[in-house]
């Protein structure tokens, strides 16, 4: 009799499985993002993982073109989306007549890039996007910054900073230098400034961008300006006097900063940063990056900006847009390093052991009563020794167990056990479930506040 060769269970390089202790906090963060996005009036959409290749190719950057997964299927050239913004531009061009403008959407879904893997970065990852389509109003720029701020706060991050720039400022300087036709190469080089340093970027500006040493020095001089938001904006205004694009960019930034102040955002939560350029080619105006002050090396955890010409690739209708994306997996990697994330092994908070094999229906009734009271309940499916079942509950971090044998069930009672400190009390639930629910609430409340 032949034995079938077992297939080795393994994942592709750059991809990963998510165990419950990782997937539960991921889902909680996604739920938080949905709640914040909805609080600003954004509505959910979804788009296919696959698009015609012509929709995606050449729309991000040379790097995203290299990283894109592409193949032929049924005689068609197709690609897997590398972000959620390009599909949104196609989606808006296709459906805006029905949706109307301004259209505010959020989209939480996986994307794929065949890039080198590193901490917090995989070849398949989830983006949590929100965007406003169909308006050039600075109000949408301000609101985008506010959503980023509120999202990080809702997640529980206290020490973060939203860095804000406007590509019009850099383009204004390039126009003054007669280098506007080389803006993409210059912007990509500047975007590497914090990671690679000024010497490397200076060399790239000259070698790749074709700038002279003097021109590169002028660009880097603008990027080296510092001070608080008002001081920096004043310096930029002076440096770009007479240049319409640069002056408009400074005025736009000033309006955004004023809007954040009016909304009560603390000044240590944002700053103007002329080095922020964003590597994607489709950005045209304000750009955002969000750094964790306790772990800046992880990079931006929420980035985005204004892209007023992107939908013009698919429609003659002018559909300006602005938005940002939470880098879910990068943020989780950072929170893990900072010990700011719990890793629960269960979504339930109440455990009910199968103590008496002959009383299954009574346990089903008990579990239903507690679930109707608003708690998640896991019932153990096999009638094993109680000690083994309680060890199972301990290993998964349940705070509460409801233990009842025949005597308790006959009397309408159960033991409410605090699995953290091993204490217990007997509660009757046959006439009213409220005493039982109150006992559960007390334990869960104490276990939450003690963390």
Model pLDDT, residue 370: 97
pLDDT band for position 178 (cuts 50, 70, 90): confident
Token output for 208 = 């790749």
pLDDT band for position 448 (cuts 50, 70, 90): low
Model pLDDT, residue 3: 73
The H-assigned helical ranges of 197-280 are 198-207, 213-223, 229-239, 244-262
User: Which helix (H) or strand (E) segment is 408 a member of?
Assistant: helix 406-411
| Mean pLDDT, residues 142-170 taken together | 95
For the chain, state the CA radius of gyration: 27
3-state secondary structure of 288: strand
The answer as to whether 143 is a domain residue is: yes
The answer to whether residue 24 scores a pLDDT higher than 80 is yes
The answer as to whether 290 is a domain residue is: yes
Residues 381 and 274 occupy one common structural domain: no
Residues 408 and 269 occupy one common structural domain: no
Model pLDDT, residue 182: 81
User: Which helix (H) or strand (E) segment is 221 a member of?
Assistant: helix 213-223
The answer to whether residue 231 scores a pLDDT higher than 70 is yes
Q: What percent of the chain has pLDDT over 90?
A: 69
| 73 neighbors 33 (Cβ within 8 angstroms) | no
Residues 171 and 297 occupy one common structural domain: yes
Domain span at residue 183? 20-337
pLDDT band for position 38 (cuts 50, 70, 90): very high
The residue among 342, 282, 298 whose CA lies nearest residue 90 is 282
Average pLDDT, the chain: 91
Relative to beta strand 103-112, strand 124-133 is antiparallel
Relative to beta strand 70-73, strand 103-112 is unpaired
Q: CA-to-CA distance for 160 and 277, rounded, in angstroms? A: 19
Q: CA-to-CA distance for 51 and 70, rounded, in angstroms? A: 10
The answer to whether residue 451 scores a pLDDT higher than 60 is no
For the segment 12-21, what is each residue's pLDDT rounded down to a tens digit? 998 999 999 9
Model pLDDT, residue 137: 97
Model pLDDT, residue 143: 98
Q: CA-to-CA distance for 289 and 302, rounded, in angstroms? A: 6
For the segment 394-418, what is each residue's pLDDT rounded down to a tens digit? 999 999 999 999 999 999 999 999 9
Q: What percent of the chain has pLDDT over 70?
A: 98
Q: CA-to-CA distance for 450 and 243, rounded, in angstroms? A: 58
Model pLDDT, residue 120: 60
Sign of the dihedral defined by the CA atoms of residues 196, 199, 203, 208, in that order: positive
Neighbours of 15 (CB within 10 A): 12
Task: Give the CATH number, domain containing residue 424.
Answer: 3.40.50.800
pLDDT band for position 220 (cuts 50, 70, 90): confident
**DSSP code for 293:** T
Task: Give the CATH number, domain containing residue 331.
Answer: 3.30.930.10
Model pLDDT, residue 450: 55
Residues 287 and 367 occupy one common structural domain: no
The answer as to whether 377 is a domain residue is: yes
| 289 neighbors 163 (Cβ within 8 angstroms) | yes
The answer as to whether 140 is a domain residue is: yes
For the segment 51-109, what is each residue's pLDDT rounded down to a tens digit? 999 999 988 788 889 999 999 999 999 999 999 999 999 999 999 999 999 999 999 99
Q: In the block, which residue shows the tokens 């959409």? A: 45
Instruction: Provide the domain count of the chain.
Output: 2
> At residue 33, what are phi and psi to the nearest 5 degrees?
-60, -45
The answer as to whether 141 is a domain residue is: yes
For the segment 367-403, what is each residue's pLDDT rounded down to a tens digit? 999 999 999 999 999 999 999 999 999 999 999 999 9
Residues 52 and 185 occupy one common structural domain: yes
Among 337, 364, 388, where does a domain finish? 337
pLDDT band for position 119 (cuts 50, 70, 90): low
3-state secondary structure of 33: helix
| Mean pLDDT, residues 39-46 taken together | 98
User: Which helix (H) or strand (E) segment is 78 a member of?
Assistant: strand 76-80
Query: What are the beta bridge partners of residue 132?
Result: 104, 322
Contacts of 405 (CB under 8 A, 6+ apart): 355, 356
Cα three-residue angle 437-443-449, rounded to 5 degrees: 130
The residue among 275, 265, 63 whose CA lies nearest residue 170 is 275
70 to each of 16, 32, 53, how far by Cα in Å?
A: 20, 33, 7
């Amino acid at each position: 009799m032949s034995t079938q060769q077992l297939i080795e269970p393994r994942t592709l390089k750059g991809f990963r499985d998510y165990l419950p202790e990782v997937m539960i906090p991921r889902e909680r963060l996604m739920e938080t993002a949905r709640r914040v996005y909805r609080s600003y009036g954004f509505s959910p959409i979804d788009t296919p993982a696959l698009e015609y290749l012509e929709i995606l190719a050449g729309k991000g950057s040379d790097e995203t073109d290299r990283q894109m997964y592409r193949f032929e299927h049924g005689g068609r050239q197709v690609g897997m989306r590398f972000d959620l913004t390009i599909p949104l531009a196609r989606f808006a061009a296709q459906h805006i007549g029905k949706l109307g403008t301004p259209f505010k959407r959020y989209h939480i879904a996986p994307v794929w890039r065949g890039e080198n893997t590193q901490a917090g970065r995989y070849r398949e990852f989830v983006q949590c996007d929100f965007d406003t389509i169909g308006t050039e109003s600075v109000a949408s720029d301000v609101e985008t910054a506010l959503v980023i701020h509120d999202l990080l706060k809702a997640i529980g991050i206290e020490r973060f900073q939203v860095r804000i720039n406007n590509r019009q400022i850099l383009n204004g300087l390039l126009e003054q230098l007669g280098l506007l036709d080389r803006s993409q190469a210059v912007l990509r080089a500047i975007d590497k400034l914090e990671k690679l340093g000024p010497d490397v970027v200076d060399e790239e500006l000259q070698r790749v961008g074709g700038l002279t040493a003097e021109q590169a020095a002028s660009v880097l001089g603008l990027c080296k300006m510092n001070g608080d938001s008002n001081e920096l904006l004043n310096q930029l205004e002076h440096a770009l006097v007479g240049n319409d694009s640069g002056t408009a960019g400074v005025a736009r930034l000033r309006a955004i900063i004023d809007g954040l102040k009016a909304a009560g955002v603390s000044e240590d939560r944002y700053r103007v940063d002329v080095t922020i350029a964003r590597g994607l080619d489709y950005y045209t105006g304000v750009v955002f990056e969000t750094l964790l002050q306790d772990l800046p090396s992880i990079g931006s955890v929420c980035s985005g900006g204004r892209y007023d010409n992107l939908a013009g690739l698919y429609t003659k209708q002018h559909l300006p847009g602005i938005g940002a994306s939470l880098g879910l997996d990068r943020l989780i990697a950072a929170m893990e390093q900072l010990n700011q994330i719990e890793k629960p092994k269960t979504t339930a908070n109440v455990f009910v052991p199968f103590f008496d094999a002959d009383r299954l229906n009574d346990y089903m009734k008990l579990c239903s009563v507690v679930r109707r009271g608003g708690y998640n309940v896991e019932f153990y499916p096999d009638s094993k020794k109680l000690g083994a079942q309680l060890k199972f509950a301990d290993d998964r971090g349940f705070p509460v167990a409801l233990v009842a044998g025949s005597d308790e069930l006959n009397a309408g009672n159960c033991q409410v056990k605090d699995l953290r400190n091993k204490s217990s009390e007997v509660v009757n639930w046959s006439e009213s479930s409220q005493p039982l629910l109150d006992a559960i609430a007390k334990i869960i409340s104490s276990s939450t506040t003690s963390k």
